[in-house]
RNA sequence: GUCUCCGUAGCUCAGUGGAUAGAGCGUUUGGUUGCGGACCAAAAGGCCGUAGGUUCGAAUCCUACCGGGGACGCCA
């Protein structure tokens, strides 16, 4: 990638200048390459000379002069200049820029893919309790995780997408009880409804079940009936979660069962390991994970009734990810309400003898839902919550994804349902998609006129708006790298808007289909085709459609 | 009380130590007898919460304080 090349050129130039005695000896620091905000400063810039002033004991401008004198000539750079107070500005060659259109056309839907790493990474996201439909809050989790997975794949990683199904524990037990009550009620029995999971979906499920199997579960042992209810409810909910996820373009490679960690012996293995290392203790009838740090809290892993806690599962799960399945990197996407759990999981990873740097936990701030400014409670237990499906049916999956992706994970967001539906037509995603559709329209026009891009000479692309568009297209690779580095997929939404904006400005300035000038027509058709590819690839990374018409 | 995230234009938000702090929406004004006006251009709008510190340079890093969200369970 360009910034890396430029950085390398600078390092070589500094070394050369040092060898020639033009600069004193010092260790060369990491060289920051940035894109200047002001276009008059060129395409890339580095403040490296400013930082070197103290080591070289020279004025930054002088250092910069000495560096640029030793930068070797390369085809993609037109000129390198020094600007006060010591910036080195790099301007790309316009001929080289124009030539990149051919590169983009050749790469096609692979444009934007970079070979950053081929490591095996897992992204685990959503992983909401399987006790009800996908909520809007989980929607944010879904979009963050899914987009990040897309970008990691584009960066060369071997990506696996996983949903961790919490099919063990109190919550699913309660759901089983609730379904049992709904089932009994559907049969006219007055079984007291446990004050848990009052969602409509369990009422419906109970009715369907009653119609399917009759009253047989009223006559079996209650424990057996509950076990069946639990399993039945889980299967039903998981199936509907898959549908909800698919509705927003999210699909997983694997739905990983928490229960399986107990069934296949993983939990037993890590428990023995911790036990042998004297990492656990018994108190008040429960088993706790010791802490070597006085300030750190101890955590229960087995309750006094013998049932393991979710933390016990998490220990086994991280072992499963890193040791058994051998992921080089495991990314978790969690709501900020789980932040207290981060330290524990990192710690126990280390205790298990794994590298805690191999796990990365992305926390996103919770979404507050309001309707006409009034907060809407979000509780699966009371059945009082807004589902992702409801909102998607109102505004569409693309607008839904864009809305939740635009803000950084750190930023807490308020989503007003009334406002979101009212303003959905001005969602920026349509601006980006409009660019794509407009290009499709240009090609329809070109076909009418009998014009094609065959034989187009991209060297004819010299208009400032043409070159600006190419510059924006080339930013896709850098954006992919930035998203991986910062784990901030929201950057894509801003890039997409910049790219679309550059296209629309080009469209204003340059006519593409001009029958009296077939040469420029062909060259510009190549350009807009490359822009179409870039827009489509960007939209695809964000999990959104690229329409031909809208 | 401890931990954590946030505070940037009227609103919603970008901005991983660099040059004159940006975008969208909203407001005002203008634009194409030609490829889609879901577009383009211009203007107005800012003690970057407050106060110190670190340094050549701070919206960005550190400390304290103010204001808002979240977490501190044998729930997940």
What pLDDT digit, counting tens, does each position of A210-244 carry? 999 999 999 999 999 999 999 999 999 999 999 99
Do residues A360 and A254 share a domain?
yes
Residue A547 inside a domain? The answer is: no
Closest CA to the C1' of B25: that residue is A426
Do residues A111 and A156 share a domain?
no
In the structure, how far is the CA atom of residue A74 from the C1' atom of nucleotide B61, in angstroms?
A: 36
In the structure, how far is the CA atom of residue A64 from the C1' atom of nucleotide B57, in angstroms?
A: 17
Residue A299 inside a domain? The answer is: no
Nucleotide nearest to A52 (CA to C1'): B56
A18-51 pLDDT per residue, tens: 999 999 998 888 899 999 988 889 999 999 999 9
Nucleotide nearest to A549 (CA to C1'): B36
Do residues A260 and A140 share a domain?
yes
Query: How many domains, in total, are found in chain A?
Result: 5
Closest CA to the C1' of B34: that residue is A511
In the structure, how far is the CA atom of residue A54 from the C1' atom of nucleotide B53, in angstroms?
A: 21
Residue A130 inside a domain? The answer is: yes
Closest CA to the C1' of B23: that residue is A494
Q: Which of A175-189, A226-240, A496-510 has the lowest mean pLDDT?
A: A175-189
The predicted pLDDT at position A255 comes to 97
Range of the domain at A213: 170-237
In the structure, how far is the CA atom of residue A351 from the C1' atom of nucleotide B9, in angstroms?
A: 50
Do residues A128 and A25 share a domain?
no
Average confidence score pLDDT of chain A: 93
| Final residue in a domain of this structure, among A376, A404, A424 | A424
Nucleotide nearest to A304 (CA to C1'): B74
Nucleotide nearest to A478 (CA to C1'): B16
Nearest CA to A310 out of A358, A348, A366, A362 is that of A348
Residue A243 inside a domain? The answer is: no
Residue A436 inside a domain? The answer is: yes
The predicted pLDDT at position A196 comes to 67
Q: Is the ipTM of this complex over 0.90?
A: yes
In the structure, how far is the CA atom of residue A530 from the C1' atom of nucleotide B25, in angstroms?
A: 30
Do residues A146 and A264 share a domain?
yes
Do residues A105 and A133 share a domain?
no
Rounded Cα distance between A374 and A390, Å, is: 18
Rounded Cα distance between A144 and A410, Å, is: 12
Of the pLDDT bands very low, low, confident and very high (cuts 50, 70, 90), residue A192 is low
In the structure, how far is the CA atom of residue A425 from the C1' atom of nucleotide B45, in angstroms?
A: 26
Do residues A528 and A438 share a domain?
yes
Measured to protein CB atoms, the chain B nucleotides within 7 Å are 3-7, 12-26, 31, 34-41, 56-57, 68-76
Do residues A360 and A374 share a domain?
no
| Final residue in a domain of this structure, among A214, A237, A260 | A237
In the structure, how far is the CA atom of residue A285 from the C1' atom of nucleotide B73, in angstroms?
A: 16
A418-450 pLDDT per residue, tens: 888 888 888 999 999 999 999 999 999 999 999
For A374, half-sphere exposure in the C-beta direction (CA atoms, 13 angstrom radius) is 2
A74 to A90, A471, A498, A532: CA distances (angstroms): 12, 18, 28, 29
For chain A, percent of residues with pLDDT exceeding 90: 81
Do residues A101 and A128 share a domain?
no
CATH of the domain at A16: 3.30.1360.70
CATH of the domain at A139: 3.40.50.620
Do residues A260 and A174 share a domain?
no
In the structure, how far is the CA atom of residue A446 from the C1' atom of nucleotide B25, in angstroms?
A: 35
Nucleotide nearest to A313 (CA to C1'): B76
In the structure, how far is the CA atom of residue A340 from the C1' atom of nucleotide B50, in angstroms?
A: 29
Nucleotide nearest to A363 (CA to C1'): B5
Nucleotide nearest to A436 (CA to C1'): B36
Nucleotide nearest to A50 (CA to C1'): B56
Of the pLDDT bands very low, low, confident and very high (cuts 50, 70, 90), residue A163 is very high
Do residues A23 and A156 share a domain?
no
In the structure, how far is the CA atom of residue A408 from the C1' atom of nucleotide B51, in angstroms?
A: 28
3-class SS string, A254-312: EEEEHHHHHHCCHHHHHHHHHHHCCCEEEECCEEEECCCCCCCCCEEEECCCCCECHHH
Can you tell me whether residue A529 is helix, strand or coil?
helix
Residue A277 inside a domain? The answer is: no
Residue A284 inside a domain? The answer is: no
Give the pLDDT mean for A349-354: 93
Do residues A348 and A389 share a domain?
no
The predicted pLDDT at position A291 comes to 79
Residue A379 inside a domain? The answer is: yes
């Amino acid at each position: 990638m360009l910034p890396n090349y430029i950085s390398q050129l600078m390092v070589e130039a500094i070394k050369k200048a040092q060898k020639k005695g033009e600069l004193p000896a010092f260790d060369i620091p990491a060289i920051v390459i940035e894109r200047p905000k002001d276009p008059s400063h060129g395409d890339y810039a580095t403040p490296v000379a400013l930082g070197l002033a103290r080591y070289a004991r020279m004025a930054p401008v002088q250092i910069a002069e000495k560096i640029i004198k030793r930068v070797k000539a390369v085809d993609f750079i037109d000129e390198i200049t020094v600007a006060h107070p010591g910036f080195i500005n790099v301007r790309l060659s316009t001929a080289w820029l124009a030539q990149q259109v051919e590169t983009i056309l050749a790469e096609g839907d692979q444009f934007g893919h970079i070979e950053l790493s081929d490591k095996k990474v897992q992204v685990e996201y959503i992983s909401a309790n399987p006790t009800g439909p996908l909520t809007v809050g989980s929607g944010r989790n879904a979009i963050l995780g899914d987009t990040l997975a897309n970008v990691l794949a584009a960066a060369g990683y071997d990506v696996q997408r996983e949903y961790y199904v919490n099919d063990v524990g109190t919550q699913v037990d309660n759901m089983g009880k609730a379904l049992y009550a709904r089932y009994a009620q559907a049969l006219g029995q007055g079984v007291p409804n446990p004050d848990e999971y009052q969602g409509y979906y369990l009422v419906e499920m109970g009715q369907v079940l009653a119609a399917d199997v009759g009253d047989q579960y009223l006559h079996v042992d209650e424990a057996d009936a509950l076990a069946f209810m639990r399993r039945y409810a889980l299967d039903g909910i998981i199936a509907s979660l898959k549908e909800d996820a698919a509705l927003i373009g999210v699909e997983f490679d694997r739905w990983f069962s928490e229960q399986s960690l107990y069934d296949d012996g993983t939990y037993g293995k890590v428990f023995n390991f911790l036990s042998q290392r004297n990492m656990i203790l018994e108190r008040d009838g429960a088993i706790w994970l010791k802490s070597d740090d006085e300030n750190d809290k101890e955590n229960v892993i087995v309750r006094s009734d013998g049932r393991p806690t979710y933390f016990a599962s998490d220990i086994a799960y991280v072992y499963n990810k890193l040791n058994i399945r051998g992921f080089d990197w495991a990314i978790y996407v969690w709501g900020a309400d789980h932040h207290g759990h981060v330290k524990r999981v990192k710690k126990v990873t280390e205790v298990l003898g794994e590298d805690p740097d191999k796990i990365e936990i992305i926390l996103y701030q919770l979404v507050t839902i309001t309707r006409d400014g009034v907060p809407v409670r979000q509780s699966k237990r009371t059945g009082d919550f807004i589902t992702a499906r409801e909102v998607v049916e109102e505004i569409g999956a693309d607008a839904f994804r864009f809305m939740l992706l635009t803000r950084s994970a750190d930023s807490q967001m308020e989503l007003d349902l009334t406002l979101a539906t009212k303003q959905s037509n001005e969602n920026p995603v349509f601006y980006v998609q409009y660019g794509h559709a407009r290009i499709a329209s240009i090609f329809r026009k070109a076909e009418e006129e009998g014009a094609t891009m065959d034989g187009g000479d991209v060297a004819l692309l010299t208009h400032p708006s043409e070159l600006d568009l190419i510059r924006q297209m080339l930013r896709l690779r850098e954006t992919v790298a930035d998203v991986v580095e910062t784990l901030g997929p929201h950057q894509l939404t801003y890039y997409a808007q910049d790219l679309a904006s550059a296209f629309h400005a080009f469209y204003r300035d340059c006519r593409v289909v001009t029958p009296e000038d077939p040469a420029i027509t062909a060259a510009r058709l190549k350009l807009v085709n490359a822009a179409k590819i870039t827009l489509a690839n960007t939209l695809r990374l964000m999990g959104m459609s690229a329409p031909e018409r809208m």
